[in-house]
Amino acid sequence: MGIMRMGYVHARVTDLAEAKHHYANTMGLYETHTDETATGRRVFYKGWDEWDHHSVVLEEGGVGVAKFGWKVERPEDIDEVEKKAQTFGVTVERMSAGENPEVSDGIRFTTPSDHVFEVYHGQTLIGTEVGTHNPECFPRHLVGVGVPGLDHALVLAEDVRTMERFLTDVFDFFPTERVQTDLNDDDAHYIATWMTSNNQIHQLAVLEGPPGNAQGKLHHFAFKLGDWSEVGRAGDLFAMDDVPIDIGPTRHGITRGQTIYFFDPSGNRNEVFAGGYLAYRDRPTVKWTPDQIAKGIFYHARELNERFTTVYT
């Protein structure tokens, strides 16, 4: 089975004009499509080093995440994911090509964490901004941060263990890192997990949220950058554009990534992320205890600010 990557994040924003200024002018994403549906206006974006039609969809009306799209390697992989999801106990519906602009047919279902996932096999190929024939290293005229593309997301759930099992059983993901109450107890309580299907250190992380107010919630979605210097430059641009910064620049102990967390104009948390080590299926899962979670998340300061644990959309 071939879940290759997170293909898109479809997020809600309160003011589309403000959101477009943030994602296009500050983040440097390229607009590829706009439309209007019964639920509101939408705009579609891609990063300069992404080849598919879009990786971010913004829909006017509210905050938080509407759904995630996951791209598989082959059309027949969709049938396999569907069977595994049904075996897990999830109700699956089919979606037709074009329900999402420029996206193939596929399936749609709601996870145990109440997040909507769509699984598809194709998206209209646009190509990167530097092409594939004798390309330059990056476009000459990047705008703002000039993020190359979407990287990962962190969502909340009331039951992290169940979500880890769901992602393992249905998507064939594996955990790279985890926070649990006992390092040696297989029945320990899971507080957070970082999961992937490939060498990327994580594609989706799941954090335990407060009972009754965690399901379907978004903590952040992240854009990839190359290295520390690009993360620092992003911080300078956020200051220039009055982007509210949550924390950073700093480093994670968990994943070893370099990071800045910040908010879009609607209050959705974003991240720019660089570094991290390569993940392999035979690499032992890195485990953290709750008393060390501050070191794991913010390696330098080793303390959590209140916003990071209480603000989500």
Does the active-site annotation cover 252? yes
Catalytic residue among 202, 219, 230, 312: 202
Q: How far apart are CA 261 and CA 155, in angstroms?
A: 15
Burial-class residue 4 by CB neighbours within 10 Å (0-12, 13-18, 19+): middle
Does the active-site annotation cover 133? no
SS3 244: coil
Catalytic residue among 152, 158, 219, 312: 152
Q: At which residue do the structure tokens 């335990």 appear?
A: 208
Buried b (16+ CB within 10 A) or exposed e, 212-239: eebbbbbbbbbbbbeeeebbbbbbebbe
Q: How far apart are CA 264 and CA 20, in angstroms?
A: 10
Catalytic residue among 45, 220, 230, 312: 220
- Scanning the chain, the segments in alpha helix (DSSP H) are 16-20, 75-88, 160-171, 228-240, 293-297, 306-310
Alpha carbon 65 to its chain's center: 10
Does the active-site annotation cover 115? no
Catalytic residue among 23, 115, 252, 312: 252
The C-alpha R_g of the chain, in whole angstroms, comes to 19
Alpha carbon 292 to its chain's center: 24
Does the active-site annotation cover 202? yes
SS3 171: helix
Q: How far apart are CA 125 and CA 108, in angstroms?
A: 22
Does the active-site annotation cover 54? no
Closest CA to 45 of 36, 60, 37, 57: 57
Active site residues: 152, 202, 220, 252, 261, 271
